[in-house]
Amino acid sequence: MTYIPISPHERDAMLETIGVKSLDDLFEAVPAKHRFPNLNLPPALTEMEAMNELSGLAQANENVRSDLISFLGAGMYNHYIPSVVDHILRRGEFYTAYTPYQPEISQGTLQAIFEYQSLMAALTGMDVSNASHYDGATATAEAVNLAYAQFRGKRKKVVISPTVHPHYRAVIRTYAQGMELEIAGDEQSLVSNLDVATDSTETLISLTDDKTCLVIVQYPDFFGRVYDYTKLIDAAHARGALVCVVANPTALALFKTPGAMGADIVVGEGQPLGIPMWYGGPSVGFFTTRKSYVHKMAGRLVGETIDNRGQRAYVLTLTAREQHIKRERATSNICTNQGLIALGTAVYLSVLGKKGLRQVAELCYQKAHYAASQLSQIDGMGLCFTEPFFHEFALCVNRPVKEVNNHLLDHGIIGGYDLGQDYPALKDHMLIAVTEMNSKQDIDVLVEVLSEVSHD
């Protein structure tokens, strides 16, 4: 079926007004030999048939709410989403609106983004936030663009911690292909020989020099560990470089903010804030910074103003930075934000608020620590770090992770991320994530099944 609301009679009247005989006559500019191809696609479905087909596909998956217990994180997390979030997102006034270029009739979207910006600045401890990026990885890549532009391309080195998410590091390398940028800190040799027992702060400081525009670290790092980066940030600033902290937003409800450590840019994946995992997206990349860097920041930005009736209102501002004005001189080609997802995040933060978000963070912390203490008692298994951690930790399982995870899956459990894929030194280690969605019983089952593995 189609959604075309024009009857054959109306169509004919319109063709007559235009002065052509048939619909096909409208396409004479198209080369005749390629005109009207036969598309080899399945025949059209009615709504009922489409719903059946899509339901079948969805049911062919095993999901982490009703089918499986999951301890998988590594950048996307299974959190509870209050009902109210989706009720707001389903409002046609929000989801079927266009980009708010006409502020007189877009104040709903504009004020919601302004509030999202405010909530993210409050959470990260920074001055300003933009209206969002595609995801955490691309937001991090945009931090590189900001820093590169801040020094007008004169500082061409980026120092990145090997404990930043491997996919984020990959995306930065993809983005940097045309930029003549040197990326140091996560070279294969450093990653392969990663001494996981020691803090990499000193290595990162030693790599940071007067050609460095940006130092990037993750908080908690990819292995879940929480460091105070103040010393690193001070050292980077002493060499004139900016520092970007890739942060988990749930952790920020509990831990010291990167803003308080002196970070210049705080980015991250906003999915934990009320957005379903949705097999990887769409989610939302948040980007917050100091006010002094706002002119070099990519992406949309909403600012407060008044209308000609004296009412407080909001507009897209500093648009002169953007591609439709600056074209090839723009810092970034970005021309969307994750508007609807950012709205979901704002609703989530509003409805949980000061107390609720802290509760979520503490539940994650408590349950992860319970799981870690129980798992580390299993013969032959153990934690490989002693540093404070939030809701993820690396567990040594002393045999191939794939084997262990296959066994867990037979028992209805998705085990942790296989760290050996990215870190040869962490062969036989899995990264286990625990959130408020994991009950004590889930954790006890995991411990029980893993105990069986260790005794096999």
Partner 1 sequence: MTEAVMEPKVKTAPKIVEPTIFNLSSPGRTGVTMPASDVPETALPPQELLRADLPLPELAEVDVVRHYMHLSKFNYSVDSGYYPLGSCTMKYNPKINEDTARLPGFLFTHPLQPIETVQGNLALMFNLQEWLKEIAGFAAVTLQPAAGAHGEFTGVLMMRAYHKSRGDTRRTKMLIPDAAHGTNPASVGMMGMQVVTIPSDERGNVDLKALEAACDDTVVGMMLTNPNTLGLFDEHIEQVIALVHGCGGLMYGDGANLNALLGIVRPGDLGFDVMHFNLHKTFSVPHGGGGPGVGPVGVAAHLADFLPEPLVGVVEDGDDAQPPLYGFVRPAQSIGRMKAFHGHFGGGFVRSYTYIAMHGPDGLKDIAQYAVLNANYLQARLRDTYKIPFDRVCMHEFVAEGRFKDSDVRALDISKRLMDYNFHPPTNYFPLIVHEALMIEPTETENKDTLDAFADTMIKIAEEARTQPELLHDAPSTTQFGRMDEVKAARELVLCCWLPDNYKDE
Which residue is it, tokens 């266009």?
Answer: 98
CB 250 within 8 A of CB 268: no
177 binds partner 1 (CB under 8 A): yes
What angle is formed at CA 412 by the lines to CA 409 and CA 415, rounded to 5 degrees?
50
Closest CA to 271 of 439, 430, 444, 139: 139
Q: Of 186-194, 195-203, 375-383, 439-447, which part binds partner 1 (CB under 8 A)?
A: 439-447
Distance CA(140)–CA(261), nearest Å, equals: 18
Sequence-distant (6+) residues with CB within 8 A of 405 are 414, 415, 416, 418, 430
Q: Of 232-240, 318-326, 393-401, 422-430, which part binds partner 1 (CB under 8 A)?
A: 318-326
User: What is the x/- site pattern for partner 1, positions 329-348, by CB under 8 A?
Assistant: xx-xxxxxxxxxx-x--xx-
Which residues 47-86 are close enough to bind partner 1 by CB under 8 A? Answer: 47, 50-51, 53-68, 70, 72, 74-76, 78, 80, 82, 84, 86
With CB under 8 A as the contact rule, the residue among 149, 232, 236, 443 that binds partner 1 is 443
3-state secondary structure of 148: helix
455 binds partner 1 (CB under 8 A): no
How many residues make contact with partner 1 (CB under 8 A)?
Answer: 209
Distance of closest approach, residue 253 Cβ to partner 1, in angstroms? 6
Distance CA(283)–CA(136), nearest Å, equals: 9
451 binds partner 1 (CB under 8 A): no
Which residue is it, tokens 């217990």?
Answer: 69
Which residues 372-431 are close enough to bind partner 1 by CB under 8 A? Answer: 373, 388, 405, 409, 414, 417
C-beta closer to partner 1: residue 165 or 194: 165
- The amino acid present at 322, given as its one-letter code, is E
Q: 105 φ, ψ to 5°?
A: -120, 25
154 binds partner 1 (CB under 8 A): no
Distance CA(264)–CA(272), nearest Å, equals: 23
117 binds partner 1 (CB under 8 A): yes
User: What is the x/- site pattern for partner 1, positions 134-153, by CB under 8 A?
Assistant: xxxxx------x--------
Distance of closest approach, residue 177 Cβ to partner 1, in angstroms? 6
Per-position DSSP letters for 319-370, written without gaps between them = GGGSHHHHGGGSS-------HHHHHHHHHHHHHHHHHHHHHHHHHHHHHHHH
188 binds partner 1 (CB under 8 A): no
User: What is the x/- site pattern for partner 1, positions 201-240, by CB under 8 A?
Assistant: -------------------------x-x------------
Q: Of 186-194, 204-212, 349-357, 393-401, which part binds partner 1 (CB under 8 A)?
A: 349-357
Distance CA(221)–CA(219), nearest Å, equals: 5
Distance of closest approach, residue 201 Cβ to partner 1, in angstroms? 15
Quick one: DSSP state of residue 288?
A: E
366 binds partner 1 (CB under 8 A): yes
With CB under 8 A as the contact rule, the residue among 8, 152, 188, 310 that binds partner 1 is 310
CB 321 within 8 A of CB 303: no
C-beta closer to partner 1: residue 255 or 396: 255
